[in-house]
Every structure is written in C-alpha cells, then in structure tokens.
Amino acid sequence: MDLASLKNEIVNMLQESVGASEYSDYQVIKDDEKAGKLYEAYVLASVCSSLKNKEGLRLELSVGEKIYLKRGTGPINRAYPCIEAYRDDELVAEIWTDVCFISQSYLRTSKYLRSTTPQYGDYHELDILMVEPNVDSYPLPEQIWLGVECKNTGMRKGILKEILGIRRELSFISESRNTKFKKWPQTEARSNPPCCLMLYSSDEAVEKYRDSGNFYDIKFIHQEIE
C-alpha cells in the first residue's frame, strides 16, 4: 500500500464513522472523564470478582439497583449505597468509592497543634476503599482492609510518587502482619496497620515501577478494559 492509499483510508474511516452517532442530550461529564470513571467501574468489577471467587465473600449492594461513583471526594456518605461484603452470613466489610481516609500525619500530630476537624492535607482519597462496616465520615487507617487507586492514563513518575505518598499516610512499614483476608489479595502485609494497597493501571508501563511498589507492599497491576 502506498502513502496516498493509506491517507485515503484514514479520511474515509474518520469521515464516515464519526459524527453519525452523536449522543443528543447535553452531557456534563465529557468523554475523557467518562473513560476514567468507566475504568474505575471496571476495576471495581474486577476487584469484586476476585473478592467473590478467590476470597469467598458474598457481595450485596446496600440499597437500590445503581452503582454510584463520585465526581468529587469526601467522607463516607451513608445516604448513598455501598457494597456490603459478607463472610457466610456475617457483614464483615463495606466497599465505598471515591472516599477519603484520615492521614497518619494528622493522627500522629498532637491535638494541640492540629485543626479540630481534618482539612486539606489531613485526608487523602482512594478510588475504592474496603472498610469495616458501619464507619461514618472519614475512615481511620486501622479500619481499612483494602485501598485501590485506578489510573486510566499513561503511567508517569508522578503516579508512582502519588501512590508512595498514599502508602506513607495509610500505614508505616513494619514486619509482616496478618491482613483481614484469608486468600485475596494477600494474607500478610509489611505495614502497620496491615492495609492492602493496589494500583491498577491501563498502561503496561506500570510494570516497570513494580520494584519500589514491592518494597512498600503496594501491588501494581496492569489491567486494560477488555
């Protein structure tokens, strides 16, 4: 095939295929943000599948028939549904999306030197947070079973620095301790409290950063929407 034919192919495929399928209603959330949120939903589905099949938990939406993700971040808001995790018939944990946890830096600062309510850098958001049941407001690190961050962009050094910072504010490096899990994602973590932390990325380059993740017990997972 020569250059002119390839150019013609490009013109034809783009002109004939784009535009005919415009969605008519005004959408506040544009394509790029939507792709990020869909990736978050996809990772949520993948994590839930592993919790069901590998960990043996039964998962149930707390109310209604819709999964809600958030545009902004904040504390747990029980006005909206979460995913309840049952071991046998006992409610053992809840899964929330786009929720902030209280940082170790806030908790370890004298109450005389910190603000009475956490603000700005005193809490950090994770896309998926599995916590003890019935937590209201911002979960504490010791209430967290599992945190997941989802990145549907090219893997950059900044993302590594971000997740390392999250790990630092979530727990301290320590000898291995038992997690709340029997099999998946891990039964032990080298952190105190022993919260599991995972970074899902749609970019295969995430694998290149795995070593520093291993040291701090952060699982780096390359997963694309299939």
Partner 1 sequence: MQVSLALNLLEETLTKDEFDELYLFLRQEVSAAGLSQVDQVIDMEFTRNLDGKESVERYTECLLKMLKERNSKIGDSILDLLNYSINTKSGKPIKDIEVLFSQEESKRYSKQSENIRKGKDYSDLISRIEIFNYKLSQAPENTPRGPNNGPGFP
Residue ranges that bind partner 1, judged by CB under 8 A: 1-3, 6-7, 9-23, 25, 27-29, 31-32, 34-35, 37-39, 41-42, 44-46, 48-49, 51-52, 58-72, 80, 83, 152-154, 156, 202, 224-225
Choice between 6 and 173, CB closer to partner 1: 6
SS3 10: helix
Residue 159 identity (one-letter amino acid): I
User: Of 11 and 173, which has the nearer Cβ to partner 1?
Assistant: 11
**What residues contact 208, with CB distance under 8 A and at least 6 apart?**
155
- As measured in angstroms, the least distance from the Cβ of 24 to partner 1 is 10
Residue found by looking up tokens 């990020």 in the block: 36
CB contact set of 94 (below 8 Å; sequence gap of 6+):
62, 82, 83, 84, 85, 130, 131, 132, 133, 134, 135
Nearer to partner 1, 74 or 109 (CB): 74
The pairing of beta strand 58-61 with beta strand 83-87: antiparallel
Smallest distance, Å, CB 171 to partner 1? Answer: 27
Nearer to partner 1, 60 or 142 (CB): 60
Q: In whole angstroms, how close is the CB of 166 to partner 1 at the nearest point?
A: 22
Q: CB of 156: closest distance to partner 1 in angstroms? A: 8
CA-nearest of 126, 132, 138, 141 to 171 is: 141
Q: Check if the beta carbon of residue 55 is closer than 8 Å to that of residue 181.
A: yes
Q: How far is the CB of 121 from partner 1 (least distance, A)?
A: 20
Please, which residue, 1 or 113, has the CB nearer to partner 1? 1
